[in-house]
Amino acid sequence: MSWSNGGQEKFFEHVNANQSEYIQHLRKWVEIPSVSCQSNTRPEVIQMMHQAKEEFIETLGAKMWLVDNPKGTQFFADGEQVPYPPVLLGTYPETFDPAKKTILLYGHLDVQPAKMSDGWDTEPFQLIEKDGKMFGRGSTDDKGPVLGWLLALKAFKDLDIELNVNLKFCFEGMEETGSVGLSEVIFETCPEFFNTGVDGTCISDNYWLGTTKPCLTYGLRGIGYWHLTVEGASRDLHSGVFGGTCHEAMTDLVYLFSSLVNQKGEILIPGINDDVAPVTAEEDASYDAIDFCKEEFKASNGINLIKEDKKFTLMGRWRNPSLSLHGIEGAFYEPGEKTVIPRRVIGKFSIRLVPDMKPAKIHQLVQAHIDEQVKKLGTPNKIWLTNVSGSEAGHGESWYGNPSGFLFEAGKTATKMVYGQDPDMTREGGSIPVTLEFQNATKKPVILLPMGAADDGAHSQNEKLNVRNYIEGVKLLGTFLQEIK
């Protein structure tokens, strides 16, 4: 059966008819607590990688293989030693058609930690369906979307619909912990897999801007992360004995923190905005048509906006840099009162980077600013800045795709066919470093094609995936592949 001659309608009907089976399949995946950042659940991450491998082989006849993680073994602070999970690569169908484009599909099978005591209303590793929502850790981030690819391809096989593209797969089990080892697999262990024959990459690991209208994503902010350490004494001190007699580390840190950003979100570091790409007239106009309700955004997240303006808010989320203060290590934070003066505190902050900011230059600006402020402070305390690298919160450049390229044209067509409306064209404020790595490795474009909605609560309590987003998402992923020209 051809896609254009009744295949599309049959595909949609098939997906609708198998909704219960699809939900049960996702339930089995969610029940595996594949938390990558904990040593005691690392075996479940590895189990999840093997299960996905076997399912793609048994269901599709795909060629799948596991690549040992180049990082080998991880040593935890408690002395536990566990292996890093392998990376799962694959190809489908068995024989590539040279006349068709080859698309690389990426997803991850590990999840964030979750337990009832965190504030969940249901057991996090059980998929609980309620009022059209499926609650469970990993449901939307990212097991639902990864499974969506398998289900769409299985439907094509069941209906004998010829696939319009060749596919390569890259699924990992360390995304929630910084994608440890994946960069080495891409550029060192298996470079030929990524830099040969790939025409484009699709990632489904992000979300709609709101809760009702689908979108396609063509940009991500990068990130720089720093630790600012202030050491004022050789041990913690009693405030009744030492208060008022010495330079306190916390006082210096609060002063330095206040020099980084003001209450309006304006970054106070000189030169930080010099390389930010200017807003073009075309970009400025593009925000007008985007379906974004600031009241819904405020209510669903329980926040107060800096400015009650749609365009200002969207630009603040997507295309302007931001500086956030994240925490202070070494300071008393537990309930109750403790009159200690901490000997050393570590302030943690990050800057979200946008085109055309470069991480190395931004670090130079941050270092120069801290040096100048320390000089003004005139404190005898020891102060140093650490540029954090090699983690999820490490340094990464922003990514900007081509919103008018063939991937996005296929995405627009597929969205219209599935949802009956044109998608919003959006950027994301967060960072997915592997996006830029795939673009650099393949020298070809990347698209972010989301399945979930803005209120899914990835990484949060009560993470969920709407049944509608899941079922229509399977249709969207499959239709996207068939509409690639």
What residues are annotated to the active site? 110, 175
Six token digits for residue 204: 């489904």
Alpha-carbon torsion, ordered 449, 453, 457, 463, to 10 deg? -90
Give CA 94 to chain center in angstroms.
31
Q: 180 — phi, psi (to 5°)?
A: -55, 125
Cβ-contact 59, 150 below 8 angstroms: yes
Question: Residue 356, preceding bond cis, omega within 30 degrees?
Answer: yes
Question: Residue 121, preceding bond cis, omega within 30 degrees?
Answer: no
Cβ-contact 301, 293 below 8 angstroms: no
Please, which residues have CB within 8 angstroms of residue 131's CB and are 6 or more apart in sequence? none
Pairing of strands 399-400, 215-220: antiparallel
Cβ-contact 22, 151 below 8 angstroms: yes
Sheet bearing 133-135, strands edge to edge: 128-130, 133-135, 464-466
Cβ-contact 93, 63 below 8 angstroms: no
DSSP-derived 3-state class of residue 20: helix
Task: State which amino acid sits at residue 138.
Answer: G
The DSSP-derived string for 138-156 is TIIIIIHHHHHHHHHHHHH
Q: Measure Cα distances from 231 to 251, 340, 341, 390, 397 in Å.
A: 11, 14, 11, 25, 31
